[in-house]
Amino acid sequence: MDKPTGQHRPLTTSRPALLQDNGDNEFRQMVSELVDFSGRLQEIRAAVARAMHLTPPQYNIIMSLAQADDQMTVSDLAERLRVSVPFIVTETRRLEEVGMLEKRADLADRRRVNLYLTEKAWEALRDVASVQVCVNDVLFETLGVREMRLLTRLIRGLLDSCDIALERAQSRPSEVAREI
């Protein structure tokens, strides 16, 4: 449906740095491309998960545990992946059943359960590493060291603002307008 004559799209940002030529077209395009990239990245990760005979959430769990510097509890993992503890309990139970994960009670606090990858999981990660290398080399071929560090910093900043932005998105428009 065409917009009525004389009508303009309402702005989607009020920050001057994000407005060009009194409009938000470039900003809208950037957001659209970020959404597209995120979706495509999820498709790629799902393909790698399938190569490991895992679901995408199980792949995320395995990758998070593989990247962890220390032991991780169920609640730590839920917080890191921004999902519920019951979801992690269900998925880790499935990973345990297929021999990819081991749960051990914490020696200091028996109520806590620590999660560990098994040798089978590490073997699956080694098996899929060449696919990950090929995919990442292609996906990020336009980045040098400086660009990678800048992109990492920018993404961390965007992620840091997501919780507040989500709260505002879930508010009624009149409540958000009062906050601005």
71: its two tokens: 């032991």
For 72, phi then psi, to 5°, come to -130, 140
Start-end of H helices in the chain: 25-51, 56-67, 74-81, 85-97, 119-139, 145-170, 173-179
Q: Is 34 helix (H, G, I), strand (E, B) or coil?
A: helix
Is residue 48 within 8 Å of residue 55, measured between CB atoms?
no
CA distances to 31, 51, 63, 94, 121 from 55, rounded to whole Å, are: 28, 10, 12, 10, 14
pLDDT at res. 8: 75
The model carries a pTM of 0.81
Predicted confidence (pLDDT) per residue in 115-142, tens digit? 999 999 999 999 999 999 999 999 999 9
Predicted confidence (pLDDT) per residue in 135-152, tens digit? 999 999 999 999 999 999
Spatial separation of the C-alpha atoms in residues 72 and 78, rounded to whole Å: 10
Q: How confident is the model at residue 2 (pLDDT cuts 50, 70, 90)?
A: low
Stretch 41-48: mean pLDDT: 95
